Amino acid sequence: MTIQTSEATTMIRQAMKAEMLDVETEQALARAWRDERDHQALHRLIRAYMRLAVSMAGKFKRAGVSQSDLIQEAMLGLMKAADRFDPDRGVRFSTYAVWWIKAGLQDHVMRNWSIVRTGSTTSQKSLFFNLNRVKAQIEREAMAHGEEMDSYQVAEKIASEIGVSLSDAQMMMGRMSGSDMSLNARQSQEEEGREWQDLLEDENAEGAEVVEKRRSQSFLRKEIVEAMKDLSFRERYILSERSLAEAPRTLASLGEEIGLSKERVRQLEAAAFQKMRRTLEARGVGVHDLVS
């Protein structure tokens, strides 16, 4: 927690020191990236709007996700916006970036709010971020008029106010009515009480091996994410597009986008992997762990 708080504080301080761009400079930087793939221009544009990303991340601080993670997600959204921004459309970059940042933050919060997937459709997202506010308003109005409403009537009102189906409203109310409970929790207060997981039947004779393998994979993913922080923006972008994307990019397409030859992109990718390998080995993660 202390490390995450420190990271968040550092990012906030960096954002507060960022320069303020006028319209002409902003347009010039955006065109330099779009037309010439000028990475310095791209980085300057991103740094100038770090303040916007930090500010938007702060609006989600009550969602139960660490501030550091929220700011990092907001920065990813900002990077995506900067990469795709077209200065000839006649809108300010901040207006365009808000959508990307907000979308990234909402997806991150919904992925991490509960162990159980909360929802991914437009109506489910709208419910997730507005249900408590609308529900409180409906209950206040009912109380002011001396009315009593059961859960079904409240769900009907919520569905009508937000513009979703009654079934979606009831589903989300149920999911958000309580927090996740650990299977390691005991069924009783007694020290010898059984844990809830003891009631689960393991049909797989190698269940312990599967659990251990998943833990190892989770550990490796976290270590890889940490190692990627030591790479440059271009190196992270190449590795992400080549190895982490659902549809991996070719060396040729990346080279055309970045303005480099196919062979140079391959060299950068190999160098980035070597840099990550050294970082991981320094953290005690061996190469055999990565390929096992």
Phi, psi of 195 (to 5 degrees): -85, 155
Mean pLDDT (whole number) for 136-158: 81
More reliable by pLDDT, 283 or 232: 232
Q: How confident is the model at residue 129 (pLDDT cuts 50, 70, 90)?
A: low
The first and second tokens of residue 180, run together, are 């996740």
Residues 255, 261: contact at Cβ < 8 Å? yes
Phi/psi of residue 186, each to 5°? -85, 150
Helices 39-48 + 23-36 axis angle, to 10: 140
Percentages of the chain per state (helix, strand, coil), in multiples of 5? 70, 0, 25
- Give tens-digit pLDDT for 13-25: 888 888 899 999 9
* 84 token code pair: 């795709």
Q: Which residues pair with residue 186 across a beta bridge?
A: 195
Neighbours of 172 (CB within 10 A): 25
Burial class (CB in 10 A: 0-12, 13-18, 19+), 53: buried
Range from 106-110, 226-230, 273-277 that averages highest in pLDDT: 273-277
Share of the chain above pLDDT 70, in %: 68
2-112 topology per CATH: Four Helix Bundle (Hemerythrin (Met), subunit A) (1.20.120)
Contact 75, 117 (CB under 8 A): no
pLDDT: is 212 or 229 the higher one? 229
Element (H, E) at 249: none
Q: What is the mean pLDDT of residues 65-89?
A: 88
Instruction: Domain 211-291: state its class.
Output: mainly alpha
Q: What is the pLDDT, as a whole number, of residue 192?
A: 59
Sorted by where each begins, the domain ranges of the chain are: 2-112, 116-176, 211-291
